[in-house]
Amino acid sequence: MNVRDSEAVAAMLEAAGHERCGSEEDAELVIVNSCTVRDKAEQKAIGKTGYLTAERLGRGRSAQAKIAAGKASKLKLVGLMGCAVKRLGAEVFEKVPGLDFAAGPRKFWMIPRLVERCLAGESELLELAGDDEVPEGLGVHSDAPSGQSFQAYVTILLGCDNRCSYCIVPDVRGHEYSRPAREVVAEVRSLAERGVKEVCLLGQSVLRYGVRNKAWDESDAPSPGGYTEPFPRLLEALASIPGLERIRFTSAHPKGCTDELVRAYRSFPQVCRHLHLPVQSGSDRILGLMGRHYTRAEYLAAVKKLRDFDPEFSLTTDVIVGYPGETAEDFEETRSLMEEAGYENAFVFKYSPRPGTRAAALPDDVPTSEKERRDQVLLADQDARGLARNGRLVGTVREVLAEGPSLRNEARWSGRDSGNRIVIFDNPGSVRAGDVVKVRIERAAAQTLYGQLVC
């Protein structure tokens, strides 16, 4: 989501006459986009911004900053955007002395104006939005060749109203709001006309699209396939767009894994066979405390529905280890759930108390070393599981959207199959980025498949 917001800001700045440059050292303006979902993420963004303002002010404290100051003499303005700005408010200017401007997540579209005002001599400008504000420019994409690609992110849902006990997102990204379907379809159509082959629809809980506010209205044409749920209906509309090869979306909540969603998967081959379905925990006790609104059995029923439809359906997840009061037994339930669900990949997070959340009032009682241990155990399990699951695909032919050469070897190309699995193959020179090619899989690693082009 931050990547998408950054792109929209870059496109708006280009439209206002600014130019992208190749590296940070050449930049006159740097804007850091921050995340505050965990304390570490926030520290990282604030640290980076402070490093930049220190360079610009020419008072680098460390030897490293002094060396960088010499290289970065062009830097005129430093801005901060994103969730940490909303959490900290005016305090950002204390945390980052010399910061020129800051904009919260629903105010990114004000940045070109903030830049103009700073260039005119103003400083410490702050823009925070209300929880229901709908930003302008949600659909702005770059016209400049440097910003164009065959893949694009499209925001369909803002904010979140779920209020999981540990999560700060609803406080910083505001209330849930679904963009009108007509707007989303027009945006994707225009992207496809420009050569975009794959879109990824974004929201904290995309399957809640059109639930809190209507996304479709009476003047929209009825669904040809008789879809009544707003999200599957959106997939149907997007699947009719010429030139669009793939439709992805993230993140999802098991409550939204309805029969209509499965029908949409079955009917539209463009809809990728992959779902990021964060589980957070495998223990009903912890899931209840987290306020996730599903049980282990309900979650696994959603998994079964997807795998009954396609046994190779690819599932990825997020897990939190060390939630307050998480016992060794709770943790073992997470381990066993992960094995039952059979994920292709998993992101494991060590619980981090976030100010103002319900969980922050509870003692953070799982020691750091134990959180670390649980993290490592889940990652090791996942490595073995990824290897075994990928191993089953050796000998099969996958349809791969070619993305580009791998970093180390120009002739070795990387792409992804419908399940979002990374596939590496030899490109004799005929394959271009954005082509869909067939690759026979010869070898599997935990997170990567290797194969040869099938002519």
The interface partner of residue 320, options being ligand SAH, ligand SF4, none and the CB cut-off 5 to 8 Å by kind, is: ligand SAH
**Phi and psi angles of residue 215, each rounded to the nearest 5 degrees, phi first:** -100, -25
Q: Which two tokens stand for residue 307?
A: 């795998």
How far apart, in whole angstroms, are the C-alpha atoms of residue 307 and residue 38?
Answer: 32
Q: Give 302-327 as a DSSP string.
A: HHHHHHHH-TT-EEEEEEEE--TT--
Binding mask 49-88 for ligand SF4 (x = CB under 6 A): ----------------------------------------
Give whichever of 107 and 354 is closer to ligand SAH, judged by the CB atom.
Answer: 354
Report the alpha-carbon distance of residue 230 to residue 215 in Å, rounded: 7
- What radius of gyration, in Å, describes the C-alpha atoms of the chain? 23
Nearer to ligand SF4, 59 or 163 (CB): 163
Q: Quick check: 204 binds ligand SF4 (CB under 6 A)?
A: yes
Could you give the CA distance from residue 229 to residue 232 in angstroms, rounded to a whole number?
6
* Stretch in the footprint of ligand SF4 (CB under 6 A) among 49-57, 159-167, 179-187, 361-369: 159-167
Q: Residue 439, interface with ligand SF4 (CB under 6 A)?
A: no
Phi, psi of 118 (to 5 degrees): -65, -40
Quick one: 166 or 313, whose CB is closer to ligand SAH? 166
**Binding residue for ligand SF4 (CB under 6 A) from 85, 128, 164, 201?**
164
Distances (CA, A) of 15 to 19, 101, 142, 144, 147: 9, 20, 8, 9, 12
Alpha helices in 152-295 (DSSP H): 169-173, 181-193, 230-239, 259-267, 284-290
Only one of the segments 4-12, 166-174, 222-230, 439-447 lies at the binding site for ligand SF4 (rule: CB under 6 A); that segment is: 166-174
Please, what is the minimum distance in Å from the beta carbon of residue 167 to ligand SF4?
Answer: 3
The least CB distance from residue 210 to ligand SAH, in Å, is 17
254 belongs to the binding site for ligand SF4 (CB under 6 A): no
Q: Select 53 or 205, whichever has its Cβ closest to ligand SAH.
A: 205
Of 99-107, 156-164, 230-238, 409-417: span binding ligand SF4 (CB under 6 A): 156-164
163 is a site residue for ligand SF4 (CB under 6 A): yes
447 near ligand SF4, rule: CB under 6 A: no
Q: Which stretch binds ligand SF4 (CB under 6 A): 54-62, 101-109, 158-166, 415-423?
A: 158-166
**181-193 vs 230-239: helix axis angle to the nearest 10?**
20
Report how far residue 188's alpha carbon sits from residue 199's, in angstroms, rounded to the nearest whole number: 8
Q: Where are the alpha helices (DSSP H) in 58-145?
A: 63-71, 83-88, 92-95, 111-119
Q: Which residues bind ligand SAH (CB under 6 A)?
A: 37-38, 160, 166-167, 169, 204-205, 251, 278, 280, 318, 320, 349, 351-352, 354
What is the closest distance, in whole angstroms, from the C-beta atom of residue 162 to ligand SF4 in the complex? Answer: 4
> CB-based contacts of 202: which residues, under 8 Å, 6+ apart?
1, 4, 153, 154, 155, 156, 157, 249, 250
Q: What is the DSSP letter of 74?
A: T
**Min CB(400)–ligand SAH separation in Å:** 27
- Asked if 165 is part of the footprint of ligand SF4 (rule: CB under 6 A), the reply reads no
Residue 162 found at the interface with ligand SF4 (CB under 6 A):
yes
Question: 282 with 296: CB under 8 angstroms?
Answer: yes
| Burial 179-196, CB ≥16 within 10 A → b, else e | bbbeebbebbbebbeeeb
Stretch that binds ligand SF4, among 89-97, 164-172, 224-232, 412-420 (CB under 6 A): 164-172
Residues in contact with ligand SF4 by the rule CB under 6 A: 160, 162-164, 167, 169-170, 204-205
